[in-house]
Structure 1
Amino acid sequence: MLRQLRGFPFLLLTLLLTLTGCGDVVSPEHPGEPLVTITGQMMPTPDAQLTGEIRLALVWYPQWLAADDREGPPGVLQEVITEDVVYQGSFPANYRFHIYRPPPEEALAELGEGLQGKGAFGILLAYKDGNGNGKLDPIAMHGAPVDRVIGSSLLGGERSTFAVVYVSTEQPAATGLKPGFNLIQGVNSESSAVVPPSTSLPLSLTSGGPFFDAFVCEAGWLTFLALDVCGLDGGDVIEQGKLTVEGRVGLNGTEAKVELEVRYENQARQDATVTLNGRSIPYDTRFAAYSFSEPNSAQLTPGSSFEIAVTLGQDSLRRTFRMPGEFAITAPTADTQARSGEPLTLRWTASEGATAYFAGFGAGQAGMGIIVEDGSLAYTFDTTNASGQGEAYVEARITPTDVESWVTTALSRERTFSFVP
Structure 2
Amino acid sequence: MSARRMLRWLLAVQALAAAGIALACRYWLGFAPWAALACGLGAVLLVRLAINMNNFVLSSYFASPTPREYRLGPGARLRLLGEEFVSSMLHSSWFMPRASGCRRIHPGSQAIPVLLVHGYGCNSGYWSYLMPRLDAKRISHAGIDLEPVGGAIDDYVPLLECAVNDLCAATGAPRVAIVAHSMGGLVARAWMRVHGSARVARIVTLGTPHHGTALANFGPGANAAQMRRSRGEASDWLRALADSEDAARRALVTSIFSHHDNIVSPQTSSVLPGARNIALGGVGHVALGCNGRVLDTVMAELDALPAVQPALLLVDDDAFMLELLRDSVAGQGWRVLTASSGTEALALLAHEPVAAIVSDHLMPGMSGAELLAEARRLAPASFRILLSGAPDDAAIAAALANGDADRFLPKPWRAEALLALLREAFTTRSTRGV
TM range (shorter): under 0.3
* Higher normalized helix content (fraction of residues): 2
Q: Which has the higher strand share?
A: 1
TM-score, normalized by length of structure 1? 0.22
Give the TM-score normalised by the residue count of structure 2: 0.22
